[in-house]
Amino acid sequence: MVDIKGTTITITKGDSARIAIKICDADGRKYVPSSEDVIRFAMKKDYNDPEPILVKTIPVDTMMLSIDPEDTKNLKAGQKDGRYKYDIELTRPGNIVDTFIPRADFIILEEVL
């Protein structure tokens, strides 16, 4: 199960998810990435943690964030312990970086099995 409300992503531990990512400019116009752009998802337990616990590159040709079962199977889950933070950034040629989804919530729910 994956549920998206605004920028909050909720997923059941060990599930797969394919999440479409959209980039808009300040005027709301859709940005179409070039093959030279890099889009990166990074997740931490807390923003102050020195290193992310999960980093994924989002292919510019599909604009789909893929979460695989092994990405969450060893992480804590539940309404309290299963709360993480993520952001998604676009890096364009010339090392121009734009974090277009900043400081968002990623919640991992417990699974029954």
The per-residue pLDDT for range 69-84, each reduced to its tens digit, is 999 999 999 988 999 9
- Report the predicted TM-score, pTM, of the whole model to 2 decimal places: 0.92
Contact (Cβ atoms closer than 8 angstroms) between residue 64 and residue 58: yes
Return the structure tokens found at 32: 């179409």
Closest CA to 44 of 103, 86, 75: 86
Q: What are the structural domain ranges in the chain? A: 2-109
Fold held by 2-109: Immunoglobulin-like (2.60.40)
Is the distance from CB of 21 to CB of 65 less than 8 angstroms? yes
Q: What angle do CA 5, 9, 63 make, to 5 degrees?
A: 95
Q: What is the pLDDT of residue 60?
A: 97
